[in-house]
């Protein structure tokens, strides 16, 4: 039966729906990849900061200013 408002057949409506679902799946995957990349960069930055703190020694002027050592 055709849609009386749009003139679409059931097959056309089904195809349009399937295309929308495919597009939504592609968008979800892109968002997932972007979030994974952001998380990776965030973790990398935290790791770099941790390494910098570990490399500081009490005689380091920056350490002395920061921690009053």
When divided into structural domains, the chain yields a total of: 1
24: helix, strand or coil: helix
For residue 1, tell me if it sits in a domain: no
Q: Is there a domain that residue 35 lies in?
A: yes
What pLDDT does 58 receive? 59
Structural domain contains residue 5: no
For 4-56, what is each residue's pLDDT tens digit?
Answer: 888 999 999 999 999 999 999 999 999 999 999 999 999 999 999 988 887 76
The model's confidence at residue 3, banded by pLDDT at 50, 70 and 90, is confident
Residue-range definition of the domain harbouring residue 15: 10-67
Residue 2 domain-assigned (yes or no): no
CA distance 28 to 33: 9
Q: Minimal CA–CA distance to 17: which of 28, 4, 8, 5?
A: 8
Q: In terms of pTM, does the model score above 0.75?
A: no
């Amino acid at each position: 039966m055709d849609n009386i408002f749009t003139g679409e057949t059931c097959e056309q409506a089904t195809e349009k729906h399937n295309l929308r679902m495919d597009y939504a799946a592609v968008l979800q995957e892109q968002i997932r990849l972007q979030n994974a990349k952001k998380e990776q960069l965030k973790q990398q930055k935290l790791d770099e900061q941790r390494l910098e703190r570990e490399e500081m020694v009490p005689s380091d002027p920056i350490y002395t200013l920061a921690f009053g050592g």
